[in-house]
Amino acid sequence: MGSARRLSNRFPIEVGGRARLTETFRLVLSNPSPGTLINTQAIGTILNIDQPVAPRFHRLHRLLSNGQFQLEFDLGDTGAGYEIQASSNLNQWITIGVVTGAVGNFQFTDQDSSSRVRRCYRAIAP
């Protein structure tokens, strides 16, 4: 990970869940080879998020009176762009809208859903 006598180093971390800038994490070090650890634990701060946080869909989806389907979700990162995609078979996806992340819940209405028997949705960061 780093060279001997190095006091600082940059390295990627994987976050299980949602990460926000300036969020802290605990780092536990073990099994150096060769060498000895003076400190085995450290606290770090997230300074940069390279990829947008994945959107989180809510269970508050509704079928509107005109037959259109409305999704509600939290877009994650403010200012990040997401594609809303739809599929009838989970193999072929088409983009049905592009949205920008904002604070709070976001609603998206599928204008073409009334003509579909079955449709699945996902939001991806292009």
Pull the structure tokens for residue 116: 């579909």
CA distances from 58 to 5, 73, 94, 104 (A): 48, 5, 21, 12
**CB neighbour list of residue 77: distance below 8 Å, 6 or more residues apart:** 49, 52, 53, 101
- Residue 4 banded pLDDT, cuts 50, 70, 90: low
**CB neighbour list of residue 21: distance below 8 Å, 6 or more residues apart:** 46, 47, 48, 49
pLDDT above 70 as % of the chain: 59
**Residue entry with tokens 């939290």:** 74
**CB neighbour list of residue 42: distance below 8 Å, 6 or more residues apart:** 26, 27, 29
Least Cα distance to 58 among 71, 68, 69 occurs for 71
pTM recorded for the entire structure: 0.53
Q: What is the tens place of the pLDDT at every residue in 15-74?
A: 665 555 566 777 777 767 777 777 778 777 766 666 556 666 666 677 888 888 888 877
Q: Quick check: 82 and 55 in contact, CB under 8 A?
A: yes
